[in-house]
A and B are shown apart, each in its own frame.
Chain A
Amino acid sequence: MADPLPQELHDRISALETGREAGEDFDARSWVWLIALGVLMPAVLLLVGWLAA
């Protein structure tokens, strides 16, 4: 049988499971930035680079 979780790790996980100590996922504003910088901007750059050649 595997070792049980160390007490400190167990406490950390319990705190995270309550949601109190957990961080937050991307919100709507983050998604806007992600799509703007990771999808739209590359698309525009690629188009400009191709047309300018």
Chain B
Amino acid sequence: MARSVSDVAVAADKSAWPLLRSERTWGPWRLAIALATAAAATWCYLIGEYVGQYLNFFQGALALSAGSMIGMLLVLLAAGPVCIRYGIESIASTTPQFGSRGWVIPAVMQLISIVGWNSLLLIFFAKSLSQLLMVLGWMPAGVNVRNIVPAATLLACGLVFLVLRRGADGVSRVSNILVLHVFIGLWMLYLLVTRRWPELMQAQPALARPDRLWNYTTGVEIGISSLLSWWAYIGAMIRMAPHGRTIAVPVMLGMGAPVPLLSLIGIAGVLVLKSSDPSEWLRTVGGPIYAVIALTFVAAANFGTAIAGIYASAIGLRNFRSLEKRPWSIILLLTIAPVALVGILIPELFFARFGAFLAFIGVGFAPLCGIQIADYYVLRRRRIAIRGIFDRSPTGEYFFWAGFNPIAIASLALGCLVYLYLLNPLTYESHGPYRFLTASLPAALVSACIYIGLSYLFVVPAGRGGYRGPA
């Protein structure tokens, strides 16, 4: 029996295969709403908290906003053009640089980053839900929050599974509802700013260093590096829209702007009330009703982001040939299972230890963006062979050497080393020109330059990577 266009579209958005124009039905508003819902989560308060430790409210807001928009631009220029032209997601877009097998490296980065972050978000969701039950007096007697978290995590994972059974349509439908939490967040910011304005203006950041430029640059760097993490998410979302001309503003404003805006809550909270978490300080500012609103907001925000993240991660898994034809439910279970296990078995340990690992994984996204931008705009002059992205045979366009491009791998590694030399993401110990340049921008630039130079020296003369062939 012939399948209808909508059936085919639904099936296609659950695969990593390229989407045809007729299947890419998201307009600018739908894309902006889905991206805004994905971007706004608990990490905004954490980002705000970091910035508020080094900068006052005004400077922190401007430095973070500037850094976020720069980071968003890098991500969009890196993965955007190929994803939007061919309806593919972020991982597939790295094949022309890393090779027909080498894409596994960015895939592992994506998987660890998304699964790691979503474990944190769903544990946050579970904690918010538990606190909400407590504030409302619905917590069963004799049960404490620590016991509720695993059950609430399991519930959240079950809900994510149910929503994502509908694929991208599920993401969009939930986003249409949960996007409201962005406005609740702005209301919370309004409350804090209007009620504590004099204190906010006088508050001094606790960890500010004597070097004003270092503090300012750190605010910018936090913005850039935070937004670079969106690389992992962006392809799966923007491939649902058909035109490059309609995604620039929705991505820059829908995904780039909510993070700095909601991070202001964290900056203001940590400066005035020494806590970035609104569910803690809203009770102080407005009493238990406000606490209930804040907890609902936090839970909704994290849930929306987890849905988008797990969807992107599941689509990324589809790039593995062994998973290409498996039922969508199996792919979802494979993606959700690690998150559920973490939330049920080791939530506290994960909270304490895994954040550091995620900080190091995040370091890789700046060089990755630099390499992709250099490859697409400088080396290939926008010529990409879509068949080569999916052809993994030795005669494929992007087979390089045994399916790997060693130049891309070396450039990525060197870019990471440059970043780590300039700034330790855990201790914020810095070296060299960090205070003038940030760490992400030089890491991206160095990777791009090394990639271009070595490609011209070795890859292009060897006739590998499809740089000479027609596309």
**Interface flag for B212 (CB, 8 Å):** yes
With CB as the reference atom, state the residue of chain A lying closest to B247: A30
Q: Please indicate the chain B residues that have their CB under 8 angstroms from the CB of A45 in the complex.
A: 62-63, 65-66, 69
- Complex CA gap A43/B69 in Å reads 10
With A34-B77, A42-B66 in contact, is A27–B244 under 8 Å at CB? yes
With CB as the reference atom, state the residue of chain B lying closest to A48: B62
With A22-B86, A23-B87, A25-B81 in contact, is A38–B242 under 8 Å at CB? no
Main secondary structure of the interface of B (DSSP, over half): helix
Main secondary structure of the interface of A (DSSP, over half): helix
User: B76, A2: Cβ atoms under 8 Å?
Assistant: no
User: B248, A52: Cβ atoms under 8 Å?
Assistant: no
User: A39, B87: Cβ atoms under 8 Å?
Assistant: no
**Interface flag for B145 (CB, 8 Å):** no
Give B245-256 as 1s and 0s: 1 = Cβ < 8 Å from A's Cβ atoms. 101110011001
Partner of B70, one of A1, A21, A38: A38
A39-53 at interface with B (beta carbon < 8 Å): 39, 41-43, 45-46, 48-50, 52-53
A1-37 at interface with B (beta carbon < 8 Å): 1-3, 5-6, 8-9, 12-13, 15-17, 20-27, 29-31, 33-34, 37
User: B69, A37: Cβ atoms under 8 Å?
Assistant: yes
With A8-B17, A23-B243, A24-B85 in contact, is A49–B387 under 8 Å at CB? no
**Interface flag for B67 (CB, 8 Å):** yes
**Interface flag for B18 (CB, 8 Å):** yes
Of B19-27, B169-177, B289-297, B421-429, the one with at least 4 CB within 8 A of chain A: B19-27
- Complex CA gap A49/B216 in Å reads 9
Minimum Cβ distance to chain B for residue A5 (Å):
6
User: B84, A25: Cβ atoms under 8 Å?
Assistant: yes
User: B70, A3: Cβ atoms under 8 Å?
Assistant: no
Minimum Cβ distance to chain A for residue B455 (Å):
22
- Complex CA gap A8/B241 in Å reads 21
User: B216, A37: Cβ atoms under 8 Å?
Assistant: no
Q: Please indicate the chain A residues that have their CB under 8 angstroms from the CB of B394 in the complex.
A: 1-2
Minimum Cβ distance to chain B for residue A42 (Å):
4
- Complex CA gap A15/B253 in Å reads 32
User: B76, A34: Cβ atoms under 8 Å?
Assistant: yes
User: B59, A24: Cβ atoms under 8 Å?
Assistant: no
With A37-B252, A49-B58 in contact, is A27–B20 under 8 Å at CB? no
- Complex CA gap A9/B392 in Å reads 13
Q: Please indicate the chain A residues that have their CB under 8 angstroms from the CB of B242 in the complex.
A: 23-24
B51-89 at interface with A (beta carbon < 8 Å): 58-59, 61-63, 65-67, 69-70, 72-73, 76-77, 80-81, 84-87
With CB as the reference atom, state the residue of chain B lying closest to A3: B321
- Complex CA gap A34/B324 in Å reads 35
Minimum Cβ distance to chain A for residue B23 (Å):
9
- Complex CA gap A8/B265 in Å reads 48
- Complex CA gap A33/B393 in Å reads 40
User: A38, B252: Cβ atoms under 8 Å?
Assistant: yes
Q: Please indicate the chain B residues that have their CB under 8 angstroms from the CB of A52 in the complex.
A: 58-59, 62
Q: Please indicate the chain A residues that have their CB under 8 angstroms from the CB of B22 in the complex.
A: 21
- Complex CA gap A41/B382 in Å reads 26
User: A49, B386: Cβ atoms under 8 Å?
Assistant: no
With CB as the reference atom, state the residue of chain A lying closest to B212: A53
With CB as the reference atom, state the residue of chain A lying closest to B60: A49
Which positions in B face A, CB cutoff 8 Å? 17-18, 20-22, 24, 58-59, 61-63, 65-67, 69-70, 72-73, 76-77, 80-81, 84-87, 212, 216, 220, 241-245, 247-249, 252-253, 256, 321, 324-325, 382, 386-387, 390-394, 396
Closest 5 CB pairs of A and B: A38-B73, A49-B62, A42-B66, A2-B393, A30-B248
